[in-house]
Structure 1
Amino acid sequence: MKKVFSQIISLVMAVLVLASTVSWTVDKHLCMGRVMDISFFAHAEDCGMESAIATLDSEDYQNPCCEDESFTIEGQDHLKLTWSDLDLDHQVFLVAFAQSYIDLFVPLEKLPVPNEKYPPPILIRDIHVLDQVFLI
């Protein structure tokens, strides 16, 4: 379960980095105030009203009902961060986090015994024999 969750998070982060670095261009075609077509990365198709008006004989007529809008969202070009870009608090945090994370995977030669320095109590009498309780 943990492995699947980490793979999903990795995939989401990869898509997020891809989406933030790509420049997005959205083109809309409006006809009488209504959105007729939306297109990403290309020109939006018109509604056909312009071709119908072009067949009319009047050359002075301008098309007031159709309008094309487009806007571009620029992606990030500079993704490489340097150590000097971070302030001192972030540097200290990153060093401490990396060191504590690496220490999680250091194998222990011998597991620590919490009561190693404390001797067991001295038995004066054998309680099992006194109470006549025996494991069979």
Structure 2
Amino acid sequence: MNETVRKTGSLMMALLVLFSTMSFSMDMHFCGDSLVDFKFYQKAETCGMSMDMPMRDMVSDDMEMHCCSDVEVVLTGQDDLQLSIDQFSFEQQTFILAYTFAYIYLFDKVDEQPIPFKEYSPPILIKDVQILDQTFLI
């Protein structure tokens, strides 16, 4: 259960970073009130009813220029997430290096302490002192 929650949280954070840094644009062409063309990352094609440039000059300001309109929606992502090692000061680099080495060696396997008398045999019992003195642990 805990492993599943950790993996789900990691995936959600990765997707959050991906979608917050991604940018895209949409281009829409309307003819009147109806949508004629809709494109991602490209210029939308016109319906062919837009007026030529010389006719626009002849039309007075009171008249409507044409019935078509272009709408462009641009969603820009964040650009401040791109950190490089050049932006860190020397003290910050030293701290990161020391912290990394301390963290790595924190989990280093500790060797077992040698037992100096491991190779020696125990002394030979001549008399069993507990039986002779009648002392028993209860």
TM-score relative to the length of structure 2: 0.41
Task: From the CA coordinates, give the structure whose radius of gyration is larger.
Answer: 2
TM-score relative to the length of structure 1: 0.41
